[in-house]
Structure 1
Amino acid sequence: MKLFFILTVLLLQIKAEAQTSASSVADSLYTIGNYSKAINEYSKVGGLSSALQIARSYNAIGNYEKAIKQYQYVVDEDGTNQLAQLESGKLLLKMNRFEEAKSVFTNLTEINTDNPEFQFYLGEANRNLNLLEESLGQYKKAISLDSTHLRSLFQLAKYYTIKRERDNALKYILMGLNFYENDVSLINLHALVLFNDSQFEKAIPLFERVLELGEDKDYVYEKLGISYNKNWEFKKAKEAYTILLKRDDTNSQTYFDLASVYQKESKLDSAKIFINKAMAVQKSIFVNGYSHIYRP
C-alpha cells in the first residue's frame, strides 16, 4: 500500500512537471508571436489558463470567431473571470457586435462597480448603438471613478465640441490637458472650440501646436489659413493656403480663401487671379460631372 502511494505521488509529480514544461513551451511560442503553434501546445496542456491563451492567440491571428468561442468557454467555466470578459467585450466591439458587447460590459459594471474601464467600454457600446445619453452617462461615471481617464474625457469633449456647447467642451478638454498637456487630440479640440467661438488669435497657437505634434492634416492648415486671415496675418495665411494647393490644386474653396486674403490686402489683381482659378476648377468639375451623367 505504501509503495502504491509513493508511485502515485511520483506519477502525479511527473505529470505536473510535463504540464509545466509544455506550458513553458506554449508561453514561449506565444511571446514570440508564433500563435498557431502556441495554440497546439496550449491544447495539450489544457485548463482555463491555457484556454484563455488560446483565445488570445486566435485574436492575435485575426480568427475572431474562434477567439470569441474560446473566451465564451472560459467565461462559462468561470463566471468570475473579469479579464476574459473584458477581452471578449473589446473584441466584440472591434467586430461591430455592439449589442453583445453591451451585454458583456453591463455584466462587468454590475460585478465590479469601481472599474472606470468597464464604464468606458459600456459607453462605447452604447455610443455605437446611438444611445448617446446612456454613453455620456457611462463616460461621466468613468471620470467620477478616475478623473484622469483620458478616453472618456476625450469622448465627452468631442461630443460637446460637435454640439457647439463651448463651456461643457472646455470643461472636459481642460481636465484632460491638466494631466496630459501634450495630448494632440485634446489640443485639437481646444483649438476647434476657440475657432468656432471666433477666438482666432487664441486658436492659432493651438493649431500650430497640433502641427508640431505631427497632426499634419489638411483641415489644420485650412483652419489656420482662416484664423491667420481673420487675425490679419496675411503672409502666414498665404503660406497655409499654398501648402493646401500643393496637396490638392482642384479645391476651389482654397482658391477663394486665398483670394479673400489678397482682397483684404487690397491686392485686387491677385485676388481676381485666384477667383478666376477657383471658377475654372468649379467649371471643370461641373463639366466632368455633366459628361458622366449624360454620357450615352
Structure 2
Amino acid sequence: MQIRLTLLLILSCSLSLYSQEEIRTADSLSAVGEKTEAIELLETLEPKTESIYLKLAKIQQANGQNEEALQNYKNVLDKNPEKILTAVDYGELLLESGKLDKADSLFSILSEKYPENAGFLYRIGLAKEMKKDSSAIKYFFKTVSKDFTHQGGIYKIAKHYLKSGKSYNAIHICNTGLEARPDNVSLLSILGQAYSRSLQFEKAIAPYERLLELGESSEFILEKLAKAYRVTSQTEKAIETYKKMLDINDMNSAVHSNLGALYLRTNETEKAQQHFTMALLIKKQPVDREYLNIGLTFKRQENFKEAFENFESALEENPDNERALLERAIAADGYFEDKKAVLKLYESYLKKFGESGRNDMISVANYRISELKSDIHQAK
C-alpha cells in the first residue's frame, strides 16, 4: 500500500512538472511573438487550471482574439467571482470590445461592493460616454471626488470644461492634475488650449513648449504655439515654429499666409511675397486675402503698379473686401497721373463703406478726397 502511494505521488509530481514545462514553453513562445503557437499549446493542457485560463485569456487578448479571451476570463470568474483583478481585466476587455452594457453592469456591481474605489466609477463613466449617455460626466466628477489625483477623471472633466467654454475651470483642474503628474501630455494640451481660449497667450506658451520637449510635436500643438508666439510679438519664435509646421506639411496655405504676415512685420518683403504667393497657389477659392497680402508687399516696396493689380485681383475674388477697395485707391494714388481717376476710386470706397466701414479707413479716404479735390480745383 505504501509503495503504491509513493508511486502515485511520484507520478503526480512528474505530471505537474511536465505541465509546468509546457507552461514555460507557452510563455516563451508568447514572449517572442509566437502567440498562436502558445495558445494552441495551452489549449491542449488538461485539466485546465485557473492560471491556465488566465494565461490563455491574456495571450488571446494580446493576439486580438477578444471573444475567446472574454470567455476564458468568464471561466475564471464563474468559479471564483471574488477575483477582483480578473474582473477588472474582464471589464476593460468588455469596454475595448464594445460590449458597453455588460461593462457598465459589471463595474456598477463592483462599485457597489467597493464604493470608495475611484477606478470603478471612472470605468462606469467610460462605458456611459461610449454609449453617448450624458450622465457620463457625473461619474467622472464622482471619480475625482474619491481621488483628486485621478488623471483619467481629471482629463475628462477638463475636456468637458473646455468644450463648455469654461476655460478658467479647465485651467484650475488641469493645474490640480499636473501637480500630481507634471508631464501628463493630455492635461498639458488642455491647459494650453484653455489659456489660449481665454486670451492668456503668454501663459499658454509654457505648456505648449513642454509638450514639444516631451516629443508631442504635432501640427496641432505647433500651430497653437506659433499663434501664442505671434500674438505676444515673439516674431522670430513664431516664424521658426511655423517653419516646423511646413516640415510636416508644406502645403498648408494658412501657415504660408501667417509666415507671409510675419515676414512683412520684419520688413523681409521678398520672403513675405513668396509665402503669400504659395498660399495663393495652394488655397482654394476665394483667395482675396492672399491677393491683398501680395499687394501689400508690393506697396511696402513702393511698387504701386504691381500693388494696384493685386488689389484689383482681390476685388475680383471678393468685391466686399473693404481693405482691398481702399488699398486699390491708395495704390492708384501713388501710380496714376490722372487725379480724377484716383478720386473716383476713393469715392467708390466711400460709396460702399462710408456708413459701415472702419473709422480709420474712412478717415483716410475722406482726407485724400479733400486733398485731391483741392489739387484738381487749383489745377484748373
SS in 1 for 2:250: coil
Q: Distance in 2 between matches of 1:137 and 1:247?
A: 39
Cα 1:273/1:61, change in 2 over 3 Å: closer
Following superposition, the deviation at residue 72 of structure 1 comes to: 1.8
Match of 2:76 in 1: 74
Match of 1:86 in 2: 88
Matching of residue 142 in structure 1 with residue 138 in structure 2: no
Paired residue for 1:25, among 21, 33, 48?
21
Q: Distance in 2 between matches of 1:283 and 1:257?
A: 16
SS in 2 for 1:254: helix
SS in 2 for 1:44: coil
Matching of residue 13 in structure 1 with residue 14 in structure 2: no
Cα 1:238/1:158, change in 2 over 3 Å: same
Match of 2:181 in 1: 180
Conserved? CA contact 2:39–2:60, under 8 Å: no
Deviations 1:39-77 (A, max 9, x none): 534632423332222222221222111111112222222
Conserved? CA contact 2:161–2:167, under 8 Å: yes
Cα 1:285/1:233, change in 2 over 3 Å: same
After the TM superposition, which parts of structure 1 deviate over 6 Å for at least 4 consecutive aligned residues? none
Q: Distance in 1 between matches of 2:183 and 2:143?
A: 22
Residue identity in the other structure for 2:103: A
Deviations 1:79-119 (A, max 9, x none): 22222221121112222222222222222222322322222
Q: Distance in 2 between matches of 1:234 and 1:281?
A: 24
Q: Distance in 1 between matches of 2:101 and 2:64?
A: 21
Q: Which has the larger radius of gyration?
A: 2
Residue identity in the other structure for 2:132: N
Following superposition, the deviation at residue 185 of structure 1 comes to: 2.1
Q: How many residues align?
A: 281
Runs (5+) with no aligned partner, structure 2: 288-380
Q: Distance in 1 between matches of 2:150 and 2:16?
A: 39
Cα 1:245/1:60, change in 2 over 3 Å: closer
Match of 1:58 in 2: 60
Following superposition, the deviation at residue 137 of structure 1 comes to: 2.3
Residue identity in the other structure for 1:155: K
Match of 1:290 in 2: none
Runs (5+) with no aligned partner, structure 1: 287-296
Conserved? CA contact 1:252–1:278, under 8 Å: yes
Deviations 1:107-148 (A, max 9, x none): 222232232222222211111111233x22222333233322
Residue identity in the other structure for 2:213: E
Instruction: Map 1:142-181 to 2 at 5 A.
Output: 142-181=143-182
TM-score with structure 1 length normalisation? 0.83
TM-score with structure 2 length normalisation? 0.66
Deviations 1:216-242 (A, max 9, x none): 111121112111111111111111112
SS in 2 for 1:132: coil
Q: Percent identity?
A: 26
SS in 2 for 1:187: helix
Cα 1:235/1:92, change in 2 over 3 Å: same
Match of 2:118 in 1: 116
Cα 1:23/1:57, change in 2 over 3 Å: farther
Q: Distance in 2 between matches of 1:87 and 1:8?
A: 44
Paired residue for 2:103, among 91, 98, 101?
101
Per mean C-alpha deviation after superposition, the further-off stretch among 33-42 and 99-108 is: 33-42
Matching of residue 125 in structure 1 with residue 121 in structure 2: no
Per mean C-alpha deviation after superposition, the further-off stretch among 258-267 and 178-187 is: 258-267
Following superposition, the deviation at residue 25 of structure 1 comes to: 2.4
Q: Distance in 1 between matches of 2:18 and 2:181?
A: 44
Q: Distance in 1 between matches of 2:21 and 2:117?
A: 34
C-alpha RMSD of matched pairs (Å): 2.7
Match of 1:214 in 2: 215
Following superposition, the deviation at residue 212 of structure 1 comes to: 0.7
Q: Distance in 2 between matches of 1:269 and 1:137?
A: 56
Higher relative contact order (CA 8 A, sep 6+): 1
Conserved? CA contact 1:22–1:45, under 8 Å: no
Conserved? CA contact 2:171–2:195, under 8 Å: no
Cα 1:57/1:45, change in 2 over 3 Å: farther
Q: Distance in 2 between matches of 1:10 and 1:161?
A: 72
Per mean C-alpha deviation after superposition, the further-off stretch among 266-275 and 233-242 is: 266-275
Cα 1:123/1:25, change in 2 over 3 Å: farther
Cα 1:46/1:22, change in 2 over 3 Å: farther
Conserved? CA contact 1:27–1:38, under 8 Å: no
Conserved? CA contact 2:26–2:42, under 8 Å: no
Instruction: Map 1:272-291 to 2 at 5 A.
Output: 272-283=273-284
Cα 1:63/1:284, change in 2 over 3 Å: same
Q: Distance in 2 between matches of 1:165 and 1:91?
A: 34
Match of 1:46 in 2: 48
SS in 1 for 2:93: helix
